Chains A and B, each alone.
Chain A
């Protein structure tokens, strides 16, 4: 079929074969794809996260604790140094503080040191909590799976001139409480952040064009992502504002970019019980994983 498309395209002088080939270059190895499927399955209740425990959502403290244990094990098994960030933080307003306990959570984090002496950190992450009543397969088990794909591929790089930190943020659905606490910690510890890369929802691609949306104010990062998207013939949109954990990073002035599904071709099941494993397009997840990996390789140069 592909040969037929190429022949027809050549005959009619259109660029489609080139775009398919370019996108096909964003392939990812089978091991990573299998791992991503397993991660999404476990986080969204398609398979058990612990013995006989199938998550319906990732919103309560006990559910989030199970996810913390699971993802920490994943990161350690891939050779990254676990550095989970526990936090307690006040509520959204003072009135609530008089009645309720502080928000408590864990940002699951791990570090991959550079192979050359460096104090610069590239941070990438995705939130792991879900809205109540939603299995959160696309929002945002796919973001977590994407990050774990990157964790796997970055570990294989022989030379890394910068350190990497992966963070799975807690409580994004509660006004980005987790990333807010994490950014406070980064600032307090004076971590030299090169850039922050947020991945949120990466599993719906109904029109099969593999398009993505970038949300950033940073011209340099938009340029790097845009160049690579162009090279692999991935359509992309650049949008303003901050609609995920990237908002917290931008607020303190870190160079930040968030990657989402294409605007207009995004899951219709967001925050709903229908956001299940079956709706995830794993090929799309894989191609975006490879795109972000290519970005990281370029940032290391």
Chain B
């Protein structure tokens, strides 16, 4: 394991995890603000393990990091899949969805995949701590 990455993870790991939670929670809040609470509920359930271990009990868990890393990767892969499907389906995709495949969407999905990969990489450090 890269020593500088290990040091950085020990110092800033919790901040990094908090950053990975911003995007999904923001997604849920957007819908909660228009009176639709199911996305926030689902996101809360999905993110509960990571929030519980790292922000309530404040302990390290490689299993939870692995879970959260795979969740991020899965989100990214599904996001790419949706883009691919929309390209294949062409006119069958509603315009309200079609016009959301923007540069921002690509950056968001790329960021989630990078975060997921990093989480899987650093989970081994958690075993050492």
Contact = CB atoms under 8 A, between A and B. Distances in A.
Given A60-B99, A61-B99, A90-B36, A97 B94 contact: no
B98 interface: yes
A271 B43 CA distance: 37
Given A89-B34, A102-B31, A177 B39 contact: no
A97 B98 contact: no
A271 B92 CA distance: 11
A92 B78 CA distance: 17
Contacts of A177: 94, 96
B25 to A, nearest CB: 12
Interface string A25-68: 00000000000000000000000000000000001110000000
A173 interface: yes
B18 interface: no
A171 interface: yes
Interface in B21-50: 27, 30-31, 34, 36, 38-39, 42-43
B5 to A, nearest CB: 30
A171 B96 contact: yes
Contacts of A133: 91
B34 A94 contact: no
A102 B30 contact: yes
Contacts of A89: 34
Given A90-B34, A92-B94, A99 B79 contact: yes
B11 interface: no
Nearest to A98: B39
Nearest to B104: A101
Main secondary structure of the interface of A (DSSP, over half): loop
Contacts, number: 59
Interface in A87-105: 88-92, 94, 96-105
A20 to B, nearest CB: 41
Contact of B98 (A90, A132, A175, A271): A132
Contacts of A90: 31, 34, 36
Nearest to A133: B91
A174 interface: yes
A271 B91 contact: yes
B122 to A, nearest CB: 25
B95 interface: yes
A131 interface: yes
28 contacts: A59-B98, A59-B99, A60-B95, A60-B99, A61-B99, A88-B34, A90-B34, A91-B96, A91-B97, A94-B39, A96-B97, A97-B38, A97-B39, A99-B82, A100-B96, A101-B100, A102-B30, A102-B36, A103-B96, A104-B96, A129-B95, A131-B91, A132-B91, A132-B95, A171-B95, A174-B95, A174-B96, A175-B94
